């Protein structure tokens, strides 16, 4: 934050940065109490699906295909398994989104 705003990390700059970080969080915690819980719920279902399901499968697909990376260890299943992982991840993602819309 200090680099982006050009503020010193010492003296008054440290106080300014602390207030800049703490006040918005305090404001939302006081006036929008449900926002933090909602953010945790969204990051749990949607974020975990993207980080643990889609991104690794896409990275492996790209690494094996476009970049021709071959490691010592290779999981069986090939592209079929990667497609199944992506389909499963998309189905979990769709379920989480539809659950948020209709509940």
Structure-token pair, residue 43: 């990051």
Tens place of pLDDT per residue across the chain (103 aa) = 777 777 788 888 888 888 888 999 889 888 888 887 888 777 888 888 999 999 999 998 888 888 777 777 777 888 899 999 999 999 999 998 898 888 6
- Asked whether 54 and 86 are in contact (CB, 8 A), the reply is yes
Distance, in Å, from the CA atom of 7 to the CA atom of 2, rounded to the nearest integer, reads 5
Distance, in Å, from the CA atom of 60 to the CA atom of 65, rounded to the nearest integer, reads 8
Q: What is the pTM for the complete model shown?
A: 0.61
- Asked whether 84 and 57 are in contact (CB, 8 A), the reply is no
Q: Based on the number of CB atoms within 10 Å of its own CB, is 12 exposed (0-12), middle (13-18) or buried (19 or more)?
A: exposed
């Amino acid at each position: 934050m200090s680099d982006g705003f050009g503020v010193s990390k010492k003296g008054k700059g440290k106080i300014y940065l602390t207030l800049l970080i703490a006040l918005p969080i305090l404001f939302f915690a006081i006036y929008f109490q449900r926002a933090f819980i909602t953010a945790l719920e969204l990051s749990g279902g949607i974020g975990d699906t993207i980080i643990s399901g889609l991104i690794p499968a896409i990275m492996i697909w790209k690494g094996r295909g476009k970049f021709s990376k071959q490691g010592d260890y290779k999981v069986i299943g090939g592209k079929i398994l990667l497609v199944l992982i992506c389909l499963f991840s998309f189905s979990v993602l769709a379920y989480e989104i539809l659950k948020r819309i209709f509940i």
